[in-house]
Structure 1
Amino acid sequence: MTSDELCECAKAVSTKAGFVDFVEILSRDYVSNRDEWQNDTLDQFLLGLSGFANDMGGYYKNMGEAVDVEKITWRIAAEMLIAATVYEG
């Protein structure tokens, strides 16, 4: 799956079940495309997740989306995981 396709999958997440499915897709992508992940170790991934969580208000503002980052949705949680694959923490 391309990174654009993963992002589209994340945007489609709206329920807990959808989030679980997305995490399974992301896990399979890691196995198949690990070399394409900038943060391909657990410590890098977690630092990327932390960095994105810290900065995500600015990200959504730049994207033109009004997102209350204190009350995230299943979609936002999925997008946080996508961001963690590349975001520098």
Structure 2
Amino acid sequence: WSSEAMELEACALTGACCEDLASSFTHCKTLLGINLQENALDHSGLVALFEAMKQQQCTVNLRGLRITDFDKETQEFLMAEKEKNPYLSI
């Protein structure tokens, strides 16, 4: 599977979907960006995405994540990841 960008804006993705999406990182070596705007993502889903990125050494640009859309725990997690990951757009 090869793709440079995935436009998943407003696709009704949930946190559970993120685990499936994260598993796809092992099969898509040329993925450069994912637009996750306007989806119902949760803390566990985002953690799954970031863990998969670390394990696969991905440099995927996650776009469309608005920090104000998440609870305090997830906001803190995203800010910590943003400091470590220049490819994260919030």
Provide the TM-score with structure 2 as the length reference. Answer: 0.32
More strand by share: 2
More helix by share: 1
Q: Identify the structure with bigger relative contact order (alpha carbons < 8 Å, sequence gap 6+).
A: 1
Provide the TM-score with structure 1 as the length reference. Answer: 0.32
